[in-house]
Amino acid sequence: MNPTHANISQVAPRLWIGWDPIEAQDAIRRARPIACVAYAEDALDWWLRAAGASRAAPDAVRPRLG
């Protein structure tokens, strides 16, 4: 994996403890401005399934991932 990419293992734990998906992504980018959160959508999909969110939830959040 490219060291400049934050992967699902960095995004998913933040979602697990209740972070907003955008806040999780922004925190990674603040800590390492060069970071590209490559797997943010995968982490979001995992979290929404684990949390039992409605099918509409990903469509509402995904555009905010930028």
Name the residue with higher pLDDT: 63 or 25: 25
pLDDT of 2:
57
Count structural domains, the chain: 1
Helices assigned H by DSSP within the chain: 8-16, 21-31, 40-51, 56-61
**Predicted TM-score (pTM) of this structure:** 0.56
Domain that holds residue 23: 5-65
Q: Reply yes or no on whether the pLDDT at 1 is more than 60.
A: no
> Which 3 state secondary structure label does DSSP give 24?
helix
